[in-house]
Structure 1
Amino acid sequence: MARSIWSGFLSLGLVSIPVRLYSATQEHEVDFHQFERGTADRIRYKRVNERTGDEVEYDDVVKGHDVGGGEYVIVERDELDEVAPGRSRSLDIEQFVELAEIDPIHFQKSYYLGPSDDDTASSYALLRTALEKTGRAAVATFVMRGKEYLACVRASGPVLVLETMFFADEIRDPVKELGDLPKAASRGKQLTMAVDLVEAMTEPWKPQRYHDTYTERVEELVEAKRDGKEVVAESPPAATGATDLLTALQDSVAAAKKTRGKTAAKKKTAKKTAKKTAAKKKSAA
Structure 2
Amino acid sequence: MGARAIWKAHICFGSVDVPVKLYSAVQDRTVHFRLLDAKRHEPVKQHMVDPDTGKVVDSADIRRAYETDEGELVILEAGDLEQVTPTPSRDIRITQFVPPAEITHQWYDRPYFLGPDEEDGAYFALAAALRKRGVEGVARWVMRNKEYVGALRAEGDYLMLITLRHAGEVVPASALPRPTGRELDEREISMAKQLVKAMEDPFDITAYHDEYRERVLELVQAKAAGKVVKFPKAPKKQGETSLADVLEASLAASGGKERKRA
Q: Which bin holds the TM-score, normalised by the shorter protein?
A: 0.7 to 0.9
Q: TM-score, normalised by structure 1?
A: 0.76
CA distance in 2, matches of 1:162, 1:207: 21
Instruction: List per-residue Cα deviations over 1:60-96 (Å, max 9, x = no partner).
Output: 799745376554121359936x85435x311111111
1:31 aligns with 2:20: no
Instruction: List per-residue Cα deviations over 1:182-207 (Å, max 9, x = no partner).
Output: 47845421121111111111112221
Instruction: List per-residue Cα deviations over 1:127-171 (Å, max 9, x = no partner).
Output: 100111122111111112222111011111121011111112111
Match for residue 75 of structure 2?
Answer: 72
Identity %: 31
Cα pair distance change 1:83/1:43, threshold 3 Å: closer
1:46-195 aligned within 5 A: 53=56, 56=59, 64-66=64-66, 69-76=72-79, 79=82, 83-86=85-88, 88-118=89-119, 121-173=120-172, 179-182=177-180, 185=183, 187-195=185-193
CA distance in 2, matches of 1:55, 1:18: 44
Q: Give the conservation status (yes or no) of the 8 Å contact 1:185–1:191.
A: no
CA displacement at 1:222 relative to structure 2: 2.0
CA distance in 2, matches of 1:159, 1:63: 44
Q: Give the conservation status (yes or no) of the 8 Å contact 1:91–1:141.
A: yes
CA displacement at 1:26 relative to structure 2: 1.3
Point out 4+ residue stretches in structure 1 off by more than 6 angstroms. Answer: 47-52, 60-63
CA displacement at 1:231 relative to structure 2: 2.5
Partner letter of residue 209 of structure 1? A
Q: Give the conservation status (yes or no) of the 8 Å contact 1:190–1:246.
A: yes
Q: Give the conservation status (yes or no) of the 8 Å contact 1:152–1:164.
A: yes
Cα pair distance change 1:179/1:39, threshold 3 Å: farther
Partner letter of residue 207 of structure 2? R
Partner letter of residue 95 of structure 1? Q
SS of equivalent to 2:77: strand
Gapped runs of 5+ residues in structure 2? none
CA displacement at 1:106 relative to structure 2: 0.7
Match for residue 255 of structure 2?
Answer: 257
Cα pair distance change 1:48/1:9, threshold 3 Å: farther
Cα pair distance change 1:151/1:70, threshold 3 Å: closer
SS of equivalent to 2:46: coil
CA distance in 1, matches of 2:63, 2:19: 32
SS of equivalent to 1:26: coil
Q: TM-score, normalised by structure 2?
A: 0.82
CA distance in 1, matches of 2:80, 2:145: 8
